[in-house]
Amino acid sequence: MAERQQVLSPSRRGFLTGGLMGAAALAGTGLARASEGEEVITEIQDWNRYPGDGVDARPYGQPSQFEAHVVRKNVPWLTSDSISSINFTPLHELDGIITPNGLCFERHHAGIAEIEPGSHRLMINGLVDRQLVFTMADLKRFPRENRIFFLECAANSGMEWRGAQLNGCQFTHGMIHCVAYTGVRLKYLLEEAGVKTAGKWLLAEGADASAMTRSIPMEKALDDCMVAFAMNGEALRPEQGYPIRLVVPGWEGNMWIKWLRRLEVGDEPWEQREETSKYTDLLANGKARRHTWVMDVKSVITNPSPQAPITHGKGAMVLSGLAWSGNGAISRVDVSIDGGRNWHAARIDGPSLPMALHRFYYEFDWDGSELFLQSRAIDDRGFIQPTKEQLRSVRGPNSIYHNNGIQTWHVDGEGVVENVEIS
Ligand code: MTE
Ligand code: CO
């Protein structure tokens, strides 16, 4: 052993030693089982005996047939049709921070626009020196960037404002996804058109039948917004705005206009439906807050959760979840297993990027007693995720949007999990 290590680089040697120590530390956790009686390993299975499909059987790969339950789901009673509707990301089935393209939740106001990219144009008009039109090929000649961001609908967790309602983090928190975008900084396109001094606002318009429109302040547009044409390395999916969508990092999903067709520069906000009657926050005194764009610091435990109960009984267990903030990166996540009486620092693993999902884990020994699980995120601007009670005391009972309150899951002695609220 000593001899073989001579030929390894110092870092490789370190890795080996670490690995051995790790193995020693893990010995005796009781997490594996004796091989007797485990016929699936001691007897040859069909897949071990016969060759499988050849290379061209699956020109575009799909998940294993045994993962067929991992799908987006909607809540039929929420909307009267599926054209102006929403479905939810199956957060309890995912790990890491990236959402696979086929599982990103969908929110459409007039269904999916199926756009032939050769017939798609992006127009910039209004208070500009030159009114411009870009083809897809034109857009791809600007310098590109790759950025990982979460997109959260302002209505995520909205149904939970007054109390625990939907049984599963897919439904309570699944209006979120996080992908790697490839695209062009909006700034470069606006510079090409030449924004006039009076141009302080931007109206972004979609090419779908809802012609979705939102006003965006010029400061944000010139800061970090992108016009994206790819997600996770491949062309955007039609559901996510193929061939292009606006990326508005950290801000509410409604502003991320899909099937983007036009950007108009103006001197004041347009006061469209989506920024007056919708996506404003009704307060207890009957007044509504508007322009509440940032998605505040938030987190949720994805496992265990109502759709992912504890099935292995007492002993070693891995609790996992997601945290994010529209203000920056997550600096800390605390987890409580007793409804917020005691807090333990969770372990954030994987990249910690501003305005992206963060993955956290908390490993502990479950003694089989009932649990009240909570997570509380803190971002690098110092914002702390509030309780739902704190939110309601500030905004009253009638708000819907921007619910970033702490979620509680109750676990009973059998490992069954339910959505509850502690009062
Ligand atoms: N853009 C257009 N053109 N049409 C739409 O219906 N829905 C908005 C936004 N952009 C919408 C749109 C809303 S409310 C949200 S939350 C996000 O897109 C959802 O993006 P996703 O479908 O990729 O999850
Ligand atoms: Co939305």
**pLDDT digit of tens for each residue in the chain (423 aa)?**
333 333 333 343 333 333 334 444 455 677 888 888 899 999 999 999 999 999 999 999 999 999 999 999 999 888 888 889 999 999 999 999 999 999 999 999 999 999 999 999 999 999 999 999 999 999 999 999 999 999 999 999 999 999 999 999 999 999 999 999 999 999 999 999 999 999 999 999 999 999 999 999 999 999 999 999 999 999 999 999 999 999 999 999 999 999 999 999 999 999 888 888 888 888 889 898 889 999 999 999 999 999 999 999 999 999 999 999 999 999 999 999 999 999 999 999 999 999 999 999 999 999 999 999 999 999 999 999 999 999 999 999 888 999 999 999 999 999 999 999 988
Pull the structure tokens for residue 114. 């199926």
CB neighbours of 222 closer than 8 A, spacing ≥ 6?
186, 187, 190
The CA-atom distances, in angstroms, between 285 and each of 394, 396, 397, 398, 409 are 11, 8, 11, 10, 32
Q: What is the pLDDT of residue 26?
A: 52
- Give the pocket of ligand 1 (CB within 6 Å): 104-109, 151, 153, 177, 206, 208, 210, 212, 239-240, 253-254, 256-259
Nearest-atom index, ligand 1, CA of 279: 14
Nearest-atom index, ligand 1, CA of 104: 24
What whole-number distance in Å separates Cα of residue 384 and Cα of residue 200? 32
Amino acid present at 150? F
Contact in structure between 81 and 62 (CB atoms under 8 Å): no
The beta-strand segments (E) located in 347-396 are 347-349, 358-366, 371-379
Q: What is the pLDDT of residue 56?
A: 95
CA of 401 to the centre of ligand 2 (A): 10
Nearest-atom index, ligand 1, CA of 246: 10
**Residue having the nearest C-alpha atom to atom 24 of ligand 1:** 106
Identify the CA nearest to 228 among candidates 258, 198, 270, 250.
258
Nearest-atom index, ligand 1, CA of 205: 3
Q: What is the pLDDT of residues 222-255, one digit of tens each?
A: 999 999 999 999 999 999 999 999 999 999 999 9
The protein residues having their C-beta less than 5 angstroms from ligand 2 (an ion) are 107, 153, 253-254
Q: What is the pLDDT of residue 423?
A: 80
CA of 253 to the centre of ligand 1 (A): 6
Closest ligand by atom to 151 CA? 1
**Residue having the nearest C-alpha atom to atom 13 of ligand 1:** 254
Nearest-atom index, ligand 1, CA of 208: 3
Amino acid present at 353? L
What whole-number distance in Å separates Cα of residue 106 and Cα of residue 257? 13
β-partners of residue 416 are none
CB neighbours of 264 closer than 8 A, spacing ≥ 6?
124, 125, 126, 202, 203, 205
Q: What is the pLDDT of residue 247?
A: 99
Domains of the chain, earliest start first: 76-289 (3.90.420.10), 298-420 (2.60.40.650)
* Top mutation candidate among 72, 73, 86, 108 for ligand 1, by most atoms within 8 Å of CB: 108
Q: What is the pLDDT of residues 90-139, one digit of tens each?
A: 999 999 999 999 999 999 999 999 999 999 999 999 999 999 999 999 99
What whole-number distance in Å separates Cα of residue 232 and Cα of residue 254? 21
Percent residues over pLDDT 70 in the chain: 93
What whole-number distance in Å separates Cα of residue 117 and Cα of residue 242? 8
Q: What is the pLDDT of residue 15?
A: 38
Q: How far apart are the first and last CA of the chain?
A: 60
Mean pLDDT, the chain, whole residue set: 92
Q: What is the pLDDT of residue 79?
A: 87
Q: What is the pLDDT of residue 297?
A: 98
